[in-house]
């Protein structure tokens, strides 16, 4: 939805991406599963273990009371393809419309951050057993959050028409 809303940046020159400040992230855990290559899979059936840094074991207390958690991870094996495309066909399917990169879930991103809501099957000390995580073995985990229905789900959410086409 393009809009001409008033903005404090109207008329100001915004910084270019290479002028923005950098940042660093620290992995807090690692994904362990049978998936060794970053290929499209039937991810909802994949069972993984997230092995958290043992110094964070107490930080997991109470997480087992939630049926689902949100896992934020770094897609460390996404191959750099040179210049980042600004437009892509969703899921690499040529029959789907060419749309802006940020209108897709393409792994080719300026920062390869993945986010997944997964079923928490079990917690054992610093290990979380989950189902539905679309990350390969060895993927660094950078954050874990409980999924809160009503907070993490937008009411009356709208999606692009091509999403519902098969």
pLDDT in tens, 124-137: 999 999 999 999 99
Q: Could you tell me the two tokens for 14?
A: 């915004």
Q: Is the pLDDT of residue 104 over 70?
A: yes
Give the angle subtended at the CA of 19 by the CAs of 82 and 10, to the nearest 5°: 110
Instruction: For residue 10, tell me if it sits in a domain.
Output: no
What are the residue ranges of helices labelled H in the chain? Answer: 161-164
Candidates 141, 115, 125, 114; CA nearest to 26 is: 141
Question: How much is the pLDDT for 38?
Answer: 73
The domain tally of the chain equals 1
On whether residue 17 sits in a domain, the answer given is no
**Residue 87: in which H helix or E strand, if any?**
strand 87-88
Instruction: Indicate whether 28 belongs to any domain.
Output: yes
Give per-residue pLDDT as tens, 4-46. Answer: 555 666 667 777 767 778 888 899 999 999 988 877 667 888 9
Domain hosting 133: range is 24-78+85-150
Residue labelled with tokens 């495309």: 85
In a domain, 164, yes or no: no
**HEC sequence for 102-155:** HHCCCCCCCCCEEEEEEEEEEEECCEEEEECCCCCCCCEEEEEEECCCCCCCCC
Does 109 reside within a domain? Answer: yes
The answer to whether residue 6 sits within a structural domain is no
Looking at residue 54, what DSSP letter applies?
G
Query: What would the pLDDT profile of 46-82 be if each residue is shown by its tens digit?
Result: 999 999 999 999 999 999 999 999 999 999 877 666 6
SS3 101: helix
| CA–centroid distance for 11 within its chain | 33
User: Which CATH number is 47's domain given?
Assistant: 2.40.30.70
């Amino acid at each position: 939805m393009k809009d001409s809303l008033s903005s404090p940046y109207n008329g100001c020159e915004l910084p270019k991406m290479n002028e923005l400040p950098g940042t660093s992230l620290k992995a807090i855990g690692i994904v362990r599963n049978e998936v060794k290559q970053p290929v499209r899979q039937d991810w909802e059936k994949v069972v993984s273990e997230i092995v958290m840094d043992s110094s964070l074991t107490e930080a997991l207390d109470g997480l087992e009371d939630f049926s689902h958690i949100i896992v934020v991870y770094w897609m460390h094996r996404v191959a750099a393809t040179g210049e980042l495309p600004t437009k892509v066909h969703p899921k690499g399917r040529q029959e789907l419309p060419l749309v802006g990169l940020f209108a897709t879930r393409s792994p080719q991103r300026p920062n390869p951050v993945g986010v997944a809501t997964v079923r928490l099957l079990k917690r054992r000390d610093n290990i979380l057993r989950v189902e539905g995580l679309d990350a390969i073995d060895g993927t660094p985990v950078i954050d874990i959050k409980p999924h809160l229905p009503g907070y993490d789900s937008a009411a009356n959410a709208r999606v692009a028409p091509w999403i519902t086409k098969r």
